Amino acid sequence: MAIIHKANLSPTKLEIIADYLPTQPWFIQDGTPELIGAYRFDDPAGEVGLETHVVAAGERIYQVPLSYRGHELGGAEEWLIGTMDHSVLGKRWVYDACADPVYVKALATAILTGQEEAALLVEGEPEARPSSVTVKGSGTLDGGVPDLSASAPVSGSGVTIINAGELRLKVTRVLDVAADASATTAAAPELHHELILSGQWAGLEKPVELAAVIRD
């Protein structure tokens, strides 16, 4: 479960994303970025915020995973997007989550075990708030995920590839909302990436593929 504080942020998440997107090779400048929704994974240690944003810009829809930390992540200066002042938690360092080992572990766990997004418990509210983006992994693994090692993500052609030791992950940056992720899952034996994370939000008729375990 992700704990959400009622707080003021400066700059806002969307402002940080709007500055970040034009620096990425998979982004095509076309209109002002607008937030469609977001989903979170839980950090079992409760230290790192893991939030992935789905953003529209022009006719394209992008996926932007971010990690929020109370301290700098060593060796990840290249992946630091910016800092924000959080009125409850103080200064937060915001990273491209594809370079954050806590996110990589959470993503792999979701894909391999069939996990869904984290429930959102907003401070002061008695019940969990529904996520604006719902996700689910296609795997059924019961024994946990293999040991993962951190490595620099590589982006290009609308995706980011993460070589994480025993697993190779693909995070889709430019989302193909016309494709049906459930159909992709059904055809899995014929594909290189048979285990996926699919997602859906209001107005989207069929789930879209968000990430995958690549099997070469």
Tens-place pLDDT, residues 54-104: 999 999 999 999 999 999 999 999 999 999 999 999 999 999 999 999 999
C-beta contacts of 68-72 below 8 A and 24+ residues apart: 68/92, 68/93, 68/94, 69/93, 69/94, 69/95, 69/100
Q: How confident is the model at residue 193, as a pLDDT?
A: 52
C-alpha pair distances (Å), 51 with each of 118, 133, 144, 189: 10, 11, 22, 30
- The pLDDT assigned to 189 comes to 41
CA dihedral 72, 89, 47, 82 (to 10 degrees): -30
Span of 98-107, 141-150, 158-167, 173-182 with lowest mean pLDDT: 141-150
What mean pLDDT is predicted for residues 167-173?
Answer: 95
Q: What is the pLDDT of residue 17?
A: 97
pTM: 0.91
Give the pLDDT mean for 10-33: 93
